[in-house]
Amino acid sequence: DDDLPKIIGNLRIVLGDDVHLEGEQVWIAAGDGRMRTLEIGDRTYIGYGTQLISGTSLRIGSDVLIANRVLLNGFDGHPLDPIARARGEPPGPDGYGPIVVEDHAWIGSNAIVLKNVTIGRAAVVATGAVVTRDVPPLTVVAGNPARPVRTIETPVEWRAA
């Protein structure tokens, strides 16, 4: 809207049509110095204070709603080994991973989605949920760690297709 998001690192960014990023408080970052990718599909909304961190790749589909202060984090930031952390080393190869948010998904405020996770088509992540595993399409997840709490009926328009 008013200001540009903050972009940090070596990123290839592909934006679809009518993407809405809620200003300078949106942070977009590569997990390390290597080239990473962020793709956002058409008509997607990214809310205020959201952080998008591409570990290897981050793909957000079309017609996705991401509320305020969401963290999509594909990068651990530090290794588990305390000595390696003290030396400032990056995480090992397991410390990076892709995140995919499929079309029509909705992620509620303050949710966290971690590496190696796919949020399925039209799935909903509840406010404050911490997603550590894939979310099936048309499923609502909540809690820490996020667990399925209900399913969503397939829209009539999708049944005919």
Residue 78 is a catalytic residue: yes
Q: Which of 7, 19, 25, 78 is catalytic?
A: 78
> What does the chain come to in residues?
161
CA angle 19, 24, 26 (to 5 degrees): 60
- Compute φ and ψ for 156, nearest 5 degrees: -55, -40
CA dihedral over 48, 2, 103, 153, signed as positive or negative: positive
Whether residue 66 contacts residue 50, with contact meaning beta carbons closer than 8 Å, is answered with yes
Catalytic residues, by residue number, are: 78
